[in-house]
Amino acid sequence: MSATQIALAGRGHLAFKQPPVLTSWATVAGKKETEGPLGRHFDRIVRDETMGEKSYERAERKLFTGAVDLLLSVAGRHASDVDLLFAGDLLDQIVTANFAARDIGIPLVGVYGACSTSSEALLLSAMAVASGSVRRAIAATASHHLSAERQYRYPIELGVQRLPTAQWTATGAAAFLVEDPAERESPSAPAKGDGATLRIVSATVGRVQDYGLKDPNNMGAAMAPAAADTILRHLQGSGRSVEDFELILTGDLGRVGHPLLEELLAEERVHPRERLQDAGILLYRDDQKVDAGGSGAACSALVLGAMALPRLRRGEMHRMLLVATGSLHSPRTYQQGESIPTIAHAVEVEAVR
């Protein structure tokens, strides 16, 4: 294919020759997330985690639609201006995305990547826009601590004791608008404040990894190999070294998985040092009783929207790699004694002025 817009840069690695632009984003965060270090950077705060709904599942859906509505408002767009919605969540049959998309009305491509959903939806949005098939796509995800706990572990009303290696599913939602760079020039599409233009220049689709770990209360350890594989393949595919990035943001390895990832990368003589940070560690303070750190589809999405993208926008950094990770088991596969397969997808964002 001669007039290709996306270079062939290796298996599973997508390099966008005419990079789509990440123009706007919106975050909605729960109470505990707001009490963390990023608290004042969220666009909207939800103190009542039932959101006036009769179930946690309906509350989660409201977080999702809230983030998309806020994004459209920030971007000065209507839902009818957006061609595709790439979305998913943690609940069985991704009912949060499905029911929310019914109310939002944008054509839906439902995805499932557990806590890697943020980067999976972002890379598909970028692929769609870069290919010229759509002008504008939204990537969105949500998670809710109380709906996830009762689906994956126990209803919190049971008071089952948590293990120190367990991670805390974040309550929140985030949505990201990816646009054709030509579209962005139009007067009706203002950037979110002044600052740099954020381009999605490449991405790497994850391969499923499984080191035989079986403990859903220690997902950080299970996910570290997936993050390592994707980071190494992204470096190979893009021809970059870790020094080219000011931030490599994983999500959500937590305090157990993060040092394991450092070890796995060191075995390949890759030493990202302080530029390697984890959304599961960044989202909460040490004293917030979240055990090994945050998790959930919203975790990396919230840290991306509240911390990483604003720093790129303000020119405080120029290139980052989002590496959201996901545990791909189900409660049933755990009960059946299966190990936990994991995945990580990478999205590279650069700031240009």
- What residues line the site for a second copy (CB under 8 A)? 1, 3-8, 11-12, 14-16, 18, 55, 57-58, 80, 83-84, 88, 91-95, 98-99, 101-102, 105-114, 120, 124, 127-128, 130-135, 151, 180-182, 204-210, 328-333, 336, 338, 341, 343
Please state the closest distance from residue 322 (CB atom) to a second copy, in A: 16
Please state the closest distance from residue 295 (CB atom) to a second copy, in A: 14
SS3 assignment, position 43: coil
Closest CB to a second copy among residues 216, 305: 216
Please state the closest distance from residue 141 (CB atom) to a second copy, in A: 13
DSSP 8-state secondary structure symbol assigned to residue 286? T
Please state the closest distance from residue 349 (CB atom) to a second copy, in A: 17
Closest CB to a second copy among residues 12, 310: 12
Residues 6+ apart with CB under 8 A from 183: 135, 136, 189
DSSP 8-state secondary structure symbol assigned to residue 90? S
Closest CB to a second copy among residues 172, 206: 206
Closest CB to a second copy among residues 30, 216: 216
Q: What's the rounded Cα separation, in Å, for the pair 301 and 161?
A: 28
Please state the closest distance from residue 310 (CB atom) to a second copy, in A: 27
Residue for token digits 């920030």? 74
Pairing relationship of beta strands 21-29 and 172-179 according to DSSP bridges: antiparallel
Please state the closest distance from residue 203 (CB atom) to a second copy, in A: 9
Please state the closest distance from residue 157 (CB atom) to a second copy, in A: 16
Q: How many CA atoms lie within 13 A of 65 on its CB side?
A: 17
Closest CB to a second copy among residues 8, 352: 8
DSSP 8-state secondary structure symbol assigned to residue 205? P
Among candidate residues 30, 27, 29, the one with its CA nearest the CA of residue 70: 27
The terminus-to-terminus CA distance of the chain in angstroms comes to: 32
Yes or no: say if 351 and 314 are a contact pair by the CB < 8 Å rule: no
Yes or no: say if 224 and 257 are a contact pair by the CB < 8 Å rule: yes
Cβ count within 10 A of residue 26: 26
Residue for token digits 């809710």? 144
Q: How far is CA 72 from the centre of its chain?
A: 19
H/E run at residue 333 = helix 331-335
Closest CB to a second copy among residues 92, 263: 92
Please state the closest distance from residue 255 (CB atom) to a second copy, in A: 25
Closest CB to a second copy among residues 92, 286: 92
Residues 6+ apart with CB under 8 A from 243: none
Please state the closest distance from residue 343 (CB atom) to a second copy, in A: 6
Closest CB to a second copy among residues 237, 257: 237
Please state the closest distance from residue 335 (CB atom) to a second copy, in A: 10
Among candidate residues 137, 165, 134, 143, the one with its CA nearest the CA of residue 56: 143
H/E run at residue 51 = none
Burial of 333 by CB count in 10 Å (0-12 exposed, 13-18 middle, 19+ buried)? middle
Among candidate residues 16, 55, 9, the one with its CA nearest the CA of residue 155: 55
Closest CB to a second copy among residues 233, 258: 233
Closest CB to a second copy among residues 39, 99: 99
